[in-house]
Amino acid sequence: MKKKSALIIFLGNIHFDSRASNFYKSFSERGFDVKVISFDWLTKDFKPVRGRISVYKLKKGLFSISFYLKFTIILSFRLVFTKTDFIFAEDVYTLPFAVIFSKLKNSRVFYDSREIYSNLAGLNKRKNLQAFWAWIEKKFIKAVELTITTGEMDSEFLEKKYNLTRTIVIRNLPFAADVKCSFDFRKHLLLGKGTKILLYQGVILHGRGLMIIFDVMKELKDCVLVILGDGEHKEFYQALAHQEHIEDRVFFFGKIEQSELLEYTSGADIGLAIIENLSLSYYFALPNKMFEYIFCGVPVLVSNLPQMKSIVDKYQVGICVNADNKDEIVSRINNLLNNNELRKQLKENCQIAAKELNWNVEINKLFDRIER
C-alpha cells in the first residue's frame, strides 16, 4: 500500500520552530512521507539546506518586496514539482499558495492559524500591511478543509469572524521526550550555586515582556536572566542591557535547536512568559514556551491573560501577574525565588501536568479528524 504524503510549508526555519517540527515528527511517525519547505533570514551565516527538509535562505533588506518576491518564486517553483496528498500551510503567508496548488494537485489542504493574523501586535503601526494579510486570510481560509488553532478562544474568534464550521484546537505543547540531563547554567556561566536562573525562551520581539523583565531585574538579587532565542530586536535588547547596567546578569544564548531545547529549559528555576496585551493575538496567547517550562518541571510566571491564566489555575503550575504592575512582578518573583517549598510544590504539579500537556496526546485529536 502506497504511503500517504504530506507537505509542510512555512515562512520560518522548522529547525527552530517547535510547532512545525512537531507536525513533521508526528506525521512521519504515523507513516506519512513528509517533506518540508521552510525559510531562514535570521540565522547568521546560515547555509541553505535541500532535501526532505528544505530550508531556503532569504534576506531582509530595506525593501520587503524583494524578500517576498524571492519567497514566492522559491515556494511556487517547489510546489509545481511536488505531488502530495496533504498540504499544511503553517502560517497565513503560505496559506494562498497551499490553497491554489492544492486545487492543481488535488491535495487536501489544512491551515495552521498559529496567530490571530488580522490583529498582530507587530503590525499595529503598519495598518496597510495588517489589512493586506487580513484580506489574504479572509479570501483563502474558507477553501481549506480544516483550520487548526492554538486555543479555544482563537477558534471561537475565527469561527465568528469568517463564519467557519471546521476548526480544531491543537495547543503549542512540547513533544514528550525524556530529558536525559539538564543544562548546567551555573557551571557554564561560572555562577554561585545559590544563584537562581530566570528563563526567557522564544523569539526576541517587543511586547513579549523583555522590556518589563529588564526593568524588574534591577530590583532582584541573587538571580540572572537567560534568554534562549533570537529575533530582529536582539541587538536592541543587548544594547538595553548595557544601558540599564544589567549586562553582567543577562545572558543571550541565541537559538537552540529543537532536539536540544528541553535540556536547556530544564536547567532553569523559573520560566517567564510575560506577554503584553498589545493586540488580540497577544491577548489570546498560549505560547509554546509556557508549556515547555511546564513539561520540564519549571514553575512559570505568566501574564494573567485569559488562556494562559486558565492553564496555570487549572494545573497550579505557577503564578499569574499583571504585566503593567512592576511592583507585583518583583514581589511574585521574589516569593518564588525565596520560597523553596512553594517552588518544590509547583515543580511537582508541573510534572503531573506534563503527563497530559504534551504533543503526543494532543496530536491524536488531529489524526482522528483526518482519518475519519
In this prediction, residues 239-249 reach a mean pLDDT of 95
- At 200-220, the pLDDT tens digits run 999 898 888 999 999 999 999
Per-residue pLDDT band for 58 (boundaries 50, 70, 90) equals very high
> pLDDT value at position 101?
96
Both 210 and 310 in one domain: the answer is: yes
Answer yes or no: is 179 within a domain: no
Both 168 and 194 in one domain: the answer is: no
| Mean pLDDT estimate for the chain | 93
Answer yes or no: is 93 within a domain: yes
Count of domains for the chain: 2
Residue 171 has pLDDT above 60, yes or no: yes
The amino acid at 287:
P
Convert 283-348 into a string of H (helix), E (strand) and C (coil).
Answer: HCCCCHHHHHHHHCCCCEEEECCHHHHHHHHHHCCEEEECCCCHHHHHHHHHHHHHCHHHHHHHHH
Angle between helices 288-295 and 18-29 (to 10 degrees): 70
Both 256 and 305 in one domain: the answer is: yes
Both 139 and 252 in one domain: the answer is: no
Both 124 and 25 in one domain: the answer is: yes
Sheet of 108-113, strand order: 53-57, 33-40, 5-10, 86-89, 108-113, 146-149, 167-169
Both 130 and 269 in one domain: the answer is: no
The enclosing domain of 94 has a CATH number of 3.40.50.2000
> pLDDT value at position 120?
83
Both 235 and 340 in one domain: the answer is: yes
Residue 62 has pLDDT above 60, yes or no: no
Per-residue pLDDT band for 63 (boundaries 50, 70, 90) equals low
- Please state which of the ranges 76-80, 118-122, 164-168, 343-347 shows the lowest mean pLDDT: 118-122
Both 269 and 312 in one domain: the answer is: yes
- At 91-130, the pLDDT tens digits run 999 999 999 999 999 999 999 999 999 888 777 778 888 8
- At 313-334, the pLDDT tens digits run 999 999 999 999 999 999 999 9
> pLDDT value at position 1?
62
Answer yes or no: is 180 within a domain: no
Residue 272, number of CB atoms within 10 A of its CB? 31
Both 198 and 309 in one domain: the answer is: yes
Question: Global pTM?
Answer: 0.91
> pLDDT value at position 86?
96
Answer yes or no: is 250 within a domain: yes
Instruction: Name the strand (E) or helix (H) holding 65.
Output: helix 64-80
Per-residue pLDDT band for 88 (boundaries 50, 70, 90) equals very high
In this prediction, residues 147-158 reach a mean pLDDT of 96
Chain-centre distance for alpha carbon 72: 24
- The domain containing residue 55 runs over which residues? 5-173+358-370
Both 202 and 304 in one domain: the answer is: yes
Per-residue pLDDT band for 71 (boundaries 50, 70, 90) equals very high
In this prediction, residues 84-97 reach a mean pLDDT of 97
- At 329-344, the pLDDT tens digits run 999 999 999 999 999 9
Q: What percent of the chain has pLDDT over 70?
A: 99
Distance CA 35, CA 43 (A): 22
Q: Give residue for cell 494562498.
A: 96
Per-residue pLDDT band for 142 (boundaries 50, 70, 90) equals very high
Distance CA 5, CA 3 (A): 6
- Please state which of the ranges 45-49, 152-156, 268-272, 293-297 shows the lowest mean pLDDT: 45-49
